[in-house]
Chains A and B, each alone.
Chain A
Amino acid sequence: MRALTWHGKHDVRMETVDDPGIVNPRDAIIKITSTAICGSDLHLYDHFIPSMQAGDILGHEFMGEVVEVGPKSTLKKGQRVIVPFTISCGSCYHCNKSQFSACPNGLPADNQDLGRQGYGHEMAGLFGYSHLTGGYAGGQAEYVRVPFSDVGPLVIPDGIEDDKVLFLTDILPTGWMAAENAEIEPGDIVAVWGCGPVGLFAVQSAFLMGAERVIAIDHFPRRLELAARFGAETINFEETSTYDALMEMTGGIGPDACIDCVGLEAHGGFVDNIIDQIKVSTFLGTDRIHAIRQAIIACRKGGRVSMPAVYGGFVDKFPLGALMEKGLTLKTGQTHVQRYTHALLNAIVEDKVDTTFLISHRLDLEEAPKGYKMFHDRQNEWTKVVLKPGMGVGKEAVAA
C-alpha cells in the first residue's frame, strides 16, 4: 500500500510499504477514506519528539471503512468508523476510570522502559507517534491496523460526510477536554493561547460551556479571524503586549481560566523563548514554553490553567512560584478521546458544533508531503489539511 513515511527533520515521503493485516484477535483493518495532519505531527516533522525511526508511518487522525476483522472485534466489514488516536484496552485500572490515554495495555512491553525512565510511568500506545508511544503505523496511508477495535472506533451513521466527523479522532475532543479542564463557570472570561485547530475547538467549547467572553491569542491574522467567527475577542501578540492587554481587558483581575493550545514550539522573539531556542539547539533542553509561562503569569488569582498543548521533556524558568502563590490549578494530559466521542458525535449531528470551518485544504494522500510543508511554512492560510486517498492528484480543494 501507499503511506506517508518519516525520514528525518522536514523529510516525509510517500512510499510503497507492506500491507497491514490482522495480528491480534481484537484487531480490525481500516481502509482510510480521510486523514488529517495535526499540529502534533509538526512536532515530529520538526524532529522535536525523540525515538522516531526512518520509515515510520505517520498519522493519528483518520477514519474509513472496516475491511477485515479479527475474531474478537465487534466491528463488521463495510462499517464506517472514526478511530481515536489513543489505543486503549477498555478494561484496565485506567480505562475503568475513563482515563483512556493512561492505558498501558496498548503499549508493547518493550516500549514501556523509555516512559518509565523519563516520566516515571509508561505512556499509552498512540498511532503514528514515535516509538515512545509504541511505534504503531499511523493512518496517513491507504490502510491501517487498529488494535482493540471493539473499544476505540465509533461507527458513523450513513449520510454524515467524513469531514464533519473526522476530528472526533483527536482535535475536537482535545479542544473540548481543554475547556473541561479549565472548569469554566458561567460568566467566566477565558483566554486561549494558540488559534490552531486545538485552540479553535477550545474557543468553541468554552462558549458552549458557558464562558461569557473568550480572548484568543495568536499572530496569524487568518487564524485569529476564525476564532472571531465564534465570538472570541482577539490579541495578535506581534502587535500587542499580551499580558498588558489581558489585564486591561479583564479590568485588572486577569482571565478566570487560561488554556495553552500552543505547545513545545512556541513562536515569537520573547526573551525567555530565545533562551529556550539556544538550549534546544544545543540539546540542553527540548521544550520552548513561552505560552504556558505567560498563561500562568496572566491567570487571575485562584484561577485555572489548562494545558492540552504537548510538551515532552524538562524545562526551566517555569513559574512555579506564581502557580503556588496565586493558588492556581493546572490540568493537562493527552486527551481521553474515547470518553468524549459519543457525546460529541451527537453534538455534530445536532449541529451544536461546527467542525468543518477550519479545513483550509483537501489534498490527495499522494500530496501529503506538500501538505506537511505548507501546513508548517504557511500557517496563516493552511489552517487544517485533510488528505484523501484516491481523490486525485492536483485536484486540491481550497476552502473559500
Chain B
Amino acid sequence: MSDLTHPADSAPAATSKRDAAGETAAQVTKAKGSQVTAQAVTINKPVAEVYGYFRNFANLPTFMENVERIDVHDQKRSHWVVKAPGGATVEWDAVVTDEEPERFVAWTSEPGADVPNSGRVEFRDAGKRGTVVSATILYDPPAGFIGKLVAKVFQREPALQSRRDLNRFKQLMETGEIATSAMNRQQHDEGKNG
C-alpha cells in the first residue's frame, strides 16, 4: 500500500529481503536512521477524519503509549517528549519535511535528537474498508548511556511498539475508546492492562 515501494515489485520497500532500510531511506526526504519498521492498518472511518486526528500531533499521545507529550510549535515544528525506563525521558525536535493533506506526512528529527529518526505516514482511501494508514519509520538504535536508558523503549522491537500504537489508533477511531482489560479505574491508572 505504501508509496515507498521496492524496485523489483509493488511490495513496500520496508519488506525487502535485501536492504529494507536503505531502499526505504532512498525514498524519504532527509532520511535519518539505519533501521526501518513499516506497519499498515485499516481504519473503518473516512480519510478526512483519520488524517485530521493524526495531523494534529498533540493528539498522538492518546494512543502512542510511550509518548508523554508533544508540543506543537507551528505547522512544521514540534517537540517530542518520550518516556524511557526509570522515569527518565528522551526528547527531540521534529520537522515536517513534506506533506499532502489527506495523503501523507513525512518528518525528520532535527540535529541533536536523543534518538535520530525520520519517517512517513500515508493515508489512503480504501473505499468501503475505510482508510489504510501506512507508517514507515527509520531510526537509529541509540548508543551510550542514554542509549541504555531508552533501549527498552526503542531497541526492543520498535516494530511491536509502532504496531501497538497503530492498533490503539484504530481502536480509538473505530470505537471511540482504547481496549483495556483493567477491571476498574484504579487498575487502569496503575497501568494494568491485558
Query: A and B from one assembly?
Result: yes
Q: Which residues of A contact B (CB under 8 A)?
A: 18-26, 72, 87, 89, 91-93, 96, 104-113, 116, 122, 125, 131, 134-137, 145, 147-148
A134 with B194, Cβ < 8 A, contacts A18-B187, A21-B184, A91-B44 known: yes
What sequence of 0s and 1s flags, for each residue 169-193 of chain B, a beta carbon within 8 Å of any chain A beta carbon?
Answer: 0110011111111111111100001
Q: Report the bound CA distance from A148 to B193 in whole Å.
A: 17
CB-nearest residue of chain A relative to B63?
A109
Q: Which of A21, A23, A92, A145 contacts B174 (CB 8 A)?
A: A92
Shortest C-beta distance, A236 to chain B (Å), equals 42
Contact B179 A134 (CB under 8 A): yes
A108 with B184, Cβ < 8 A, contacts A25-B177, A92-B174, A125-B179 known: no
Let me know if B109 is at the binding interface, CB within 8 A. no
Q: Which residues of B contact A111 (CB under 8 A)?
A: 181, 194
Contact B44 A108 (CB under 8 A): no
A145 with B193, Cβ < 8 A, contacts A24-B177, A109-B167 known: no
Q: Report the bound CA distance from A91 to B45 in whole Å.
A: 10
Interface residues on B, range: 20 to 34
Mark out the residues of chain B between 135 and 188 whose CB falls within 8 Å of any chain A CB in the assembled complex. 160, 163-165, 167-168, 170-171, 174-188
Contact A109 B174 (CB under 8 A): no
Q: Which of B160, B171, B188, B193 contacts A113 (CB 8 A)?
A: B160
Contact A23 B185 (CB under 8 A): yes
Q: Which residues of B contact A107 (CB under 8 A)?
A: 179
Q: Which residues of B contact A19 (CB under 8 A)?
A: 183-184
Q: Which residues of A contact B30 (CB under 8 A)?
A: none
Q: Which residues of B contact A89 (CB under 8 A)?
A: 171, 174-175
Shortest C-beta distance, B45 to chain A (Å), equals 9
CB-nearest residue of chain A relative to B177?
A24
Q: How many A-B residue pairs have CB under 8 A?
A: 98
A109 with B171, Cβ < 8 A, contacts A92-B44, A135-B194 known: yes
Shortest C-beta distance, B13 to chain A (Å), equals 22
Shortest C-beta distance, A104 to chain B (Å), equals 7
Shortest C-beta distance, A40 to chain B (Å), equals 18
Shortest C-beta distance, A144 to chain B (Å), equals 9
Q: Which residues of B contact A26 (CB under 8 A)?
A: 175-177
Beyond the given pairs A93-B44, A145-B183, 10 more chain A to chain B contacts, judged by CB atoms under 8 angstroms and listed by A's residue number, are A21-B186, A23-B180, A72-B176, A89-B171, A93-B129, A104-B170, A108-B180, A111-B194, A113-B160, A147-B179
Shortest C-beta distance, B159 to chain A (Å), equals 10
What sequence of 0s and 1s flags, for each residue 89-130 of chain B, a beta carbon within 8 Å of any chain A beta carbon?
Answer: 000000000000000000000000000000000000000011
Contact B183 A105 (CB under 8 A): no
A24 with B183, Cβ < 8 A, contacts A89-B174, A105-B170 known: no
Contact A21 B181 (CB under 8 A): no
Q: Most B CB atoms within 10 A — which of A23, A87, A89, A135?
A: A23
CB-nearest residue of chain A relative to B183?
A20
Q: Report the bound CA distance from A26 to B170 in whole Å.
A: 16
Contact B184 A20 (CB under 8 A): yes
Shortest C-beta distance, A22 to chain B (Å), equals 7
Let me know if B42 is at the binding interface, CB within 8 A. yes
Q: Most A CB atoms within 10 A — which of B42, B175, B176, B179?
A: B179
Contact A96 B184 (CB under 8 A): no
Q: Which of A22, A108, A131 contacts B185 (CB 8 A)?
A: A22
Q: Which residues of A contact B187 (CB under 8 A)?
A: 18
Contact B181 A105 (CB under 8 A): no
A131 with B194, Cβ < 8 A, contacts A23-B185, A93-B44 known: yes
Contact B194 A105 (CB under 8 A): no
Q: Which residues of A contact B175 (CB under 8 A)?
A: 26, 89, 91-92, 105, 148
Q: Report the bound CA distance from A66 to B49 in whole Å.
A: 34
Q: Which residues of B contact A104 (CB under 8 A)?
A: 167, 170
CB-nearest residue of chain B relative to A25?
B177
A108 with B193, Cβ < 8 A, contacts A19-B184, A23-B182 known: yes
Shortest C-beta distance, B132 to chain A (Å), equals 11
Q: Which of A72, A93, A106 contacts B179 (CB 8 A)?
A: A106
